[in-house]
């Protein structure tokens, strides 16, 4: 078997390639955190357009907190009310007529609408993060 065929492969950038591939989880997480924040901000912006206004106080209390981490999960907290959470919940849940375009369910509706394409938007962000990281090779 001294003359057995052999194949030799040479990877001059193997160390760099390996480093980029190992960095992908961090790059993906960073990209997902940014995308999640953008999603939350877009939902809150749409929500504020629908939020009923009397004095404007309720609308001004809309917040987006995060992204936060718990184990392997990333999440945001979107909400209204601050010290007036009870009032915010009542206005959100009580199905009474409001002056258009404001309405009840002013946070729930934009959230549900955003869910429709959210998975595809996150997939695109992950794909871009991988391509960007691989472009570093």
Q: Which residue has the higher pLDDT, 130 or 48?
A: 48
Q: What confidence score (pLDDT) does residue 131 get?
A: 82
Residue 42 lies in a domain: yes
d(CA 20, CA 62): 39
d(CA 133, CA 137): 8
* Domain extent for 36: 22-134
Out of 2-6, 9-13, 35-39, 71-75, the most confident range is 35-39
Residue 13 pLDDT? 54
Would you say residue 16 lies in a domain? no
- Give the number of domains in the chain: 1
81-92 pLDDT, tens per residue? 887 888 999 999
Structure tokens at 33: 């955190």
8 is a domain residue: no
Instruction: Give me the chain's average pLDDT, please.
Output: 83
Q: Give dist(CA 106, CA 36) in Å, integer.
A: 20
Say what the pLDDT of residue 3 is: 52
Distance CA 62, CA 88 (A): 10
- Distance in angstroms (rounded) separating the CA atoms of residues 83 and 104: 20
Is residue 40 assigned to a domain?
yes
Indicate whether 102 belongs to any domain. yes
Residue 5 lies in a domain: no
* CB burial of residue 91 (10 Å; 0-12, 13-18, 19+): buried
User: pLDDT tens for residues 15-67?
Assistant: 665 566 556 677 788 888 999 999 999 999 999 999 999 888 899 999 999 99
Residue 4 domain-assigned (yes or no): no
Rounded Cα–Cα distance for residues 87 and 93 (Å): 10
């Amino acid at each position: 078997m001294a003359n057995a065929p052999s194949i030799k492969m040479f990877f001059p950038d193997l160390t760099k390639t390996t480093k980029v591939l190992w960095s992908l989880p961090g790059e993906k997480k960073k990209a997902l955190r940014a995308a999640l924040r953008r999603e939350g901000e877009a939902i809150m912006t749409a929500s504020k357009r629908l939020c009923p206004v009397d004095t404007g106080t309720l609308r001004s209390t809309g917040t987006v907190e995060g992204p936060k981490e718990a184990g392997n999960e990333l999440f945001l907290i979107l909400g209204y009310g601050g010290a007036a959470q009870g009032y915010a919940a009542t206005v959100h849940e009580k199905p009474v007529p409001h002056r258009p375009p404001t309405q009840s369910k002013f946070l729930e509706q934009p959230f549900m609408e955003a869910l429709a394409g959210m998975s595809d938007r996150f997939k695109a962000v992950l794909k871009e993060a991988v391509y960007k990281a691989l472009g570093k090779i």
